Amino acid sequence: TASSPHRTFIAIKPDGVQRGLVGEIIKRFEQKGFHLVAMKFMQAPEDLLKEHYIDLKDRPFYPGLVKYMSSGPVVPMVWEGHGVVSTGRVMLGETNPADSKPGTIRGDFCIQVGRNICHGSDSVESAKKEINLWFKPEELTSYSSCSEKWIYE
């Protein structure tokens, strides 16, 4: 890819999986032109979730968040593309779905912050950290998409 695009970590939370929205969320990132380089379907262990949300450990909702995130399968993914971290956040919508615009994933599919169906890295640095936490280097693929010349100038 031209001038090394960024990667971001996107995870579909248990509510997104239970509601059958996995395909729709993947579809939106694919249609945008982003490149899927890793994906798992898994039951996340609590220690992984505690580490993932370590920045929130002093918040009152932290134990409930970890418990909720381990309540069912999740779909962690790595997407690649120019501006993927910031654009991915825009595509997801605001953390609180009530503040999310129609057309965003949260604006279209959810109502309450505790059931906001997906997680997306909030910076290039946190994306690197989250990708390394959820995926081993050998689980990340590197390939060229035949559609690349139709997405990038």
Indicate whether 151 belongs to any domain: no
- Of the candidates 6, 35, 52, 119, the residue annotated as catalytic is 119
Q: Is 119 a catalytic residue?
A: yes
| Residues 62-99 as b or e (16 or more Cβ within 10 Å = b) | eeebbebbbeeebbbbbbbbeebbebbbebbbbeebee
User: Which residues form the domain of 57?
Assistant: 7-141
Indicate whether 129 belongs to any domain: yes
pTM of the predicted structure, to 2 decimals? 0.93
In CATH, what number is assigned to the domain containing residue 53?
3.30.70.141
User: Can you tell me the distance from the alpha carbon of 68 to that of 11, in angstroms, rounded to the nearest whole number?
Assistant: 14
**Which residues are annotated as part of the binding site for ATP?**
13, 61, 89, 95, 106, 116
**Which residues are annotated as part of the binding site?**
13, 61, 89, 95, 106, 116
pLDDT tens for 95-141 read: 999 999 999 999 999 999 999 999 999 999 999 999 999 999 999 99
pLDDT tens for 130-144 read: 999 999 999 999 988
pLDDT tens for 1-49 read: 345 679 999 999 999 999 999 999 999 999 999 999 999 999 999 999 9
Indicate whether 153 belongs to any domain: no
The confidence score (pLDDT) of residue 144 equals 87
Indicate whether 152 belongs to any domain: no
User: Can you tell me the distance from the alpha carbon of 76 to that of 12, in angstroms, rounded to the nearest whole number?
Assistant: 6
- By the 8 A CB rule, do 68 and 119 touch? no
Indicate whether 2 belongs to any domain: no
Number of domains in the chain: 1
User: Can you tell me the distance from the alpha carbon of 11 to that of 134, in angstroms, rounded to the nearest whole number?
Assistant: 10
Indicate whether 137 belongs to any domain: yes
